[in-house]
């Protein structure tokens, strides 16, 4: 895991104001897996997704490198507003359904009975 940390830290820029670690390395194509924003990718092993070396979300890699293993069915999301942030202290685990619920709550509410 030491090497993974080094590879991550080589490509992050620290944002002094928000304490975010902003990923400056490779990004996914927009819209990948239905996600609206691009996310950072790093080539490593994800023991949950596959045993092969492949490109995975750098947020997942950061969580594994600094916090620990990600239980099956959980996804890594962030508490801060920066989609490229991979500060392990800003990363939290959620189940996929919790993640989907949070996404729904963020949509604007259309008021139909104003008058």
Residues near Zn ion (CB under 5 A) are: 20, 80, 82, 85, 87, 90
Compute, in degrees rounded to 10, the torsion defined by CA atoms 66, 71, 75, 81: -30
Q: How far is the CB of 80 from Zn ion (least distance, A)?
A: 3
- Closer by beta carbon to Zn ion, 48 or else 93: 93
List, in order, residues 6 or more apart from 65 with CB less than 8 Å away: 1, 4, 5, 8, 88
Q: How far is the CB of 30 from Zn ion (least distance, A)?
A: 20
- Closer by beta carbon to Zn ion, 7 or else 78: 78
Compute, in degrees rounded to 10, the torsion defined by CA atoms 1, 40, 57, 6: 0
Q: How far is the CB of 22 from Zn ion (least distance, A)?
A: 8
């Amino acid at each position: 895991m030491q090497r993974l940390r080094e590879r991550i830290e080589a490509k992050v820029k620290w944002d002094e104001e928000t304490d975010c670690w902003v990923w400056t390395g490779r990004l996914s194509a927009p819209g990948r897996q239905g996600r609206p924003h691009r996310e950072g990718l790093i080539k490593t092993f994800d023991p949950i997704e596959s045993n092969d070396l492949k490109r995975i979300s750098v947020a997942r890699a950061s969580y594994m490198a600094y916090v620990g293993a990600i239980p099956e069915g959980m996804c890594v999301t962030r508490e801060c507003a920066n989609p490229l942030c991979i500060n392990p202290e800003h990363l939290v685990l959620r189940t996929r359904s919790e993640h989907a619920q949070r996404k729904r709550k963020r949509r604007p509410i259309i008021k139909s009975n104003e008058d």
